[in-house]
Amino acid sequence: MTRIDGGPESTQVQDQYIETTENSRPVSVLLRELVAHLRDNRTQLREEWARRITEAKLLTAMTKDEIFAEATSVYDNYVEALETGTFEALQAYARNLSERIIPRGVETDEVVGIVLLLRDVLARSLFAKYQTDFTKLNRILDAYEPAANRIANTVAVGFVQERERIIREQQEAIRELSTPVLQVRERLLILPIIGVIDSQRARQLTEQLLRGIRTNRAKVVVIDITGVAAMDATVANHLVQTVEASRLLGATVIVTGLSPEIAQTIVNIGVDLGKMNTVGDLQGGIEQAERLLGYKVVPFVETP
Amino acid sequence: MEVPLLKQGDFLIATIQAALTDADLLHLRKALVQQVVRFRSRGVIVDVTSLDVMDSFASRTLREVAQMIRLRGAETVIVGIQPDVAFAMVQLGLKLEDVTTALDLEEGLAHLSRKSTNGA
């Protein structure tokens, strides 16, 4: 009896109940009444909802006006989904909304929270309207609750899916641009590392470096970790392994840009960096590498 | 499988062609240590380019070869370790410490020639 789509079955149900009493009217009729009520009280309910959102300190990343504008669209979409029983439009809207608000730091609990608030606001207004006729209130709620639950579900799922899509995209992007192995001189490579290194990335880094050493026939490699904020024991060990593996290929590794924090961490962990060649900054590293390779950089003085 | 030893000027070159058994490795070690003095070689190059596995026995034997040859008055360079092999070795803790390594045969020869000109 809680079907809300306009399929053939529900039409049949409708016909069957056409001559019956007020209290056993089919769901679709009740829903229509419900939708009419929500449309009539649109302004008031919308404002009530926006007020509750602010009160509950949800969507703090957005301004009051923005909340009200979004609340209006969500409200209209909500009522439409109730009326038509189709969720595609709402789903599309939820995805679109998520796309806009996720970059601004809106969390899942906030989105679920506001939809549940709307559900609450509307249910309260129904209580207020039908408080004299308890049986009818029950029937209305029978029609309203399943649809409202499904709407909440749709919006939450849409939000989470969008979030996951963004995460996947970002992971992909990071993987792509994470590890350039660059040749700066004949037989000299640099490997600037920026950002967080997890074990998967560390592995990929090592593979790319070793392959780079082979293809470029490198003798010296400068690994610059200025852009690495923190390093744990696993990653430090991996760095040592990379240095040793490079040596097995006949290349010398110079590590540059160890921040004071990382230096401290490494000393505390007790990773053996004794065999590692470290220089303060990238410039110093490249200069040392040039010395190792027998280059000498002489400033070019223009003759007058 | 026997590993051919080639004399090239002052150097002795052993190119490993295929996976070796432990017995082959021991045989190689013995042959190298004998030949290095017979040919009065100043350097030995062991080329492992075609090896796609390096187990603990192989790497320990290569290390021993290097140490023994040093005692016999020459220097050893291991060349041609594949990137994947190198990483696997390091993860297994087979670091070939104190053994000189080079990218390939050419690099190894260049290294040894540099050494012998410096030493001369």
Q: What pLDDT score does A136 carry?
A: 85
Most A CBs within 10 A among B89, B103, B106, hence the mutation to make, goes to B103
CA–CA separation, A24 and B30 (whole Å):
100
Say which DSSP state A300 is in. Answer: -
Instruction: State which amino acid sits at residue A60.
Output: T
User: A254 in helix, strand or coil?
Assistant: strand
Question: Quick check: B83 and A214 CB within 8 A?
Answer: yes
Mean pLDDT of chain A: 82
Nearest CB to B103 within list A206, A214, A245 = A214
CA–CA separation, B18 and A178 (whole Å):
37
> Residue A215 is encoded by which pair of tokens?
């293809």
Nearest to B116 by CA among B77, B74, B78: B74
Q: What is the mean pLDDT of residues A251-266?
A: 86
What residue spans define the domains of chain B?
5-117
> Residue A192 is encoded by which pair of tokens?
């600037």
Nearest CB to A210 within list B83, B95, B96 = B83
pLDDT single digits (tens) A138-181:
888 888 888 888 888 888 888 888 888 888 888 877 766 667 88
Q: How far is B93 from chain A (nearest CA, A)?
A: 9
Q: What is the mean pLDDT of residues A264-268?
A: 79
Q: How far is A64 from chain B (nearest CA, A)?
A: 56
Q: How far is B74 from chain A (nearest CA, A)?
A: 19
* Gap between the terminal Cα atoms of chain A: 97
CA–CA separation, A176 and B97 (whole Å):
35
| Residues B5-117, CATH architecture | 2-Layer Sandwich (3.30)
Q: What pLDDT score does A15 carry?
A: 45
CA–CA separation, A187 and A218 (whole Å):
4
Q: What pLDDT score does A6 carry?
A: 45
Q: What pLDDT score does A28 carry?
A: 76
Q: What is the mean pLDDT of residues B26-50?
A: 91
Does any CB of chain A come closer than 8 Å to the CB of residue B92?
no
Cα A215 from chain centroid (whole Å): 37
> Residue A166 is encoded by which pair of tokens?
């963004």
Q: What pLDDT score does A283 carry?
A: 92
- What is the largest distance, in Å, between two alpha-carbon atoms of chain A? 109
Q: What pLDDT score does B119 carry?
A: 59
Question: Chain A contacts of B85, Cβ < 8 Å?
Answer: 248
Q: Are A246 and A275 in contact (CB under 8 A)?
A: no
Question: Chain B contacts of A251, Cβ < 8 Å?
Answer: 103
* B85: Cα within 13 Å, side-chain hemisphere: 20
Asked if the model's pLDDT at residue A196 lies above 50, the reply is: yes
Q: What pLDDT score does A3 carry?
A: 46
CA–CA separation, A268 and A258 (whole Å):
14
List strands edge to edge, sheet with B11-15: B5-8, B11-15, B43-47, B75-79, B100-102
Does any CB of chain A come closer than 8 Å to the CB of residue B51?
no
Question: Chain A contacts of B90, Cβ < 8 Å?
Answer: 241-242, 244-245, 248
> Residue B26 is encoded by which pair of tokens?
């021991």
Percent of chain A with pLDDT over 70: 88
Dihedral sign from CA coordinates of A17, A20, A24, A26: positive
Question: Chain A contacts of B86, Cβ < 8 Å?
Answer: 210, 245-246, 248-249
Cβ neighbours of residue A134 closer than 8 Å, sequence gap 6 or more: none
How many interface pairs between A and B have CB atoms less than 8 angstroms apart? 52
ipTM score: 0.77
